[in-house]
Amino acid sequence: MSEHRILAINPGSTSTKFAVYFNEKCVLNKTLRHSVDELSAYADIIEQFGYRKGMIIDALVEEGIDIDKIKFIIGRGGLTYPLESGVYLVDQFMLEHARAGIYGKHASNLGPVIADYIASQIPGAHAFIADPVVTDELEEIARITGHPMFRKRSIFHALNQKATARVHARKTGAHYEDLRLIVVHLGGGVSVGAHVDGRVIDVNNALDGDGPFSPERSGSLPVGQLIELCFSGKYSKEEIYRMVVGEGGYVAYLGTNNALEVHKRALAGEKQAQFIEEALAYQVAKTTGEMAAVLNGQVDGILLTGGMAHNQALVDLIKKRVGFIAPIFVYPGEDELEALAMNALMVARGELSAKKYTPRMEE
């Protein structure tokens, strides 16, 4: 059997994670952390391209990886136009949309850009994305917002939510397509999705103003107060957007996007850290309850995943409020790099065909 060498890249809001696979075997897995101060040097997320790309290449060289032998580079899909689930070949159309941030500003926009750059430096290499954050399987009724000028957008941790759901299905001897699940991703952003028949029929927009707050995002805000702030003349459009994405949540209340630091401060007795950590759990539980209603109360399991699922105290706070709904299963961290690599491997082996980026424009 041929050995396929794969580089999987996952740029997140507070980290850049990457891994090298030789077929199914992971030979390198690294997480590069980025502080608020480091990222504040860049006015726009896409400007972080050189910084993050350089760190990945330097780390690969330092680890002794022969970069020229890597022929499949797959990045986390960014905020392009809505797409169906699957693997996509990176092309210029996708790159233009990712760089422009036509659907929003997020570190995942760097996924196809970095993958394409590295692939361009290696003869015979190709760049892909898989299950991008704009994966859209919403029921039509879930798109209704309350005013016809606004429609709900599907922006969430699709790659990890689906990978976690499939891992859970295998561990329980079931098929993902037969389960009714609520999957909660607890990371730099927080998304809570209702999964049924292998589709995510409803989920909060985890990026810019919907659902629970997170380490650096505000989540839902009081609309009237937000309107007043927008027209107060005190802040620019960019400044207000940063309040919602990048400088909301833990950053706004506690001055850091590091959830581990917040938990350590809470354990040390800092009352504000304790209170805000509990408030995050409270909001996550509320949104989980909403998704239980979406599934008509017929829920086979609630899956907690993402980096903050390592925090047992936070997990216990969530369990206390939603344990009555369904059994709770914890899958800390994320399987996104492995999920990316296995998607690329299926393409390499001809088991899966990469799709062409043909976006479905918003109505």
| DSSP code string of 287-304 | HHHHHHHHTTT--SEEEE
The chain-wide mean pLDDT, for the chain, equals: 94
pLDDT of residue 233: 97
Cα distances (Å, whole numbers) of residue 24 to 1, 340, 346: 12, 11, 10
pLDDT of residue 127: 98
Q: Do domains 5-136+337-348 and 158-333 have the same CATH topology?
A: yes
Q: One-letter amino acid identity for 324? A: F
Q: Is the dihedral angle over the CA atoms 50, 55, 57, 58 positive or is it negative?
A: positive
pLDDT of residue 363: 46
Query: What's the token pair of residue 240?
Result: 């207000």
Cα distances (Å, whole numbers) of residue 224 to 40, 147, 221, 248: 29, 15, 9, 18
pLDDT of residue 39: 81
- Summarised one tens digit per residue, pLDDT across range 216-245 is 999 999 999 999 999 999 999 999 999 999
- CA separation for the pair 323, 11 (Å, rounded): 32
- CA separation for the pair 206, 45 (Å, rounded): 17
The fold adopted by the segment(s) 5-136+337-348 is Nucleotidyltransferase; domain 5 (3.30.420)
Domain ranges in the chain?
A: 5-136+337-348, 158-333
pTM here is 0.85
Instruction: Kindly report the backbone phi and psi dihedral angles of residue 195, in degrees, each rounded to the nearest multiple of 5, phi listed first.
Output: -105, 130
124, HSE (Cβ side, Cα atoms, 13 Å)? 9
Q: Which CATH class is domain 158-333?
A: alpha beta
Average pLDDT over residues 251-271: 97
Query: What's the token pair of residue 288?
Result: 């989980």
Strand segments, DSSP code E, in the chain are 5-11, 15-22, 25-33, 72-76, 87-89, 126-130, 180-186, 190-196, 199-203, 301-306, 328-332
Query: What is the bridge-based pairing of β-strands 180-186 and 190-196?
Result: antiparallel
- Summarised one tens digit per residue, pLDDT across range 61-117 is 999 999 999 999 999 998 898 998 889 999 999 999 999 988 888 888 999 999 999
Residue with tokens 């954050």: 133
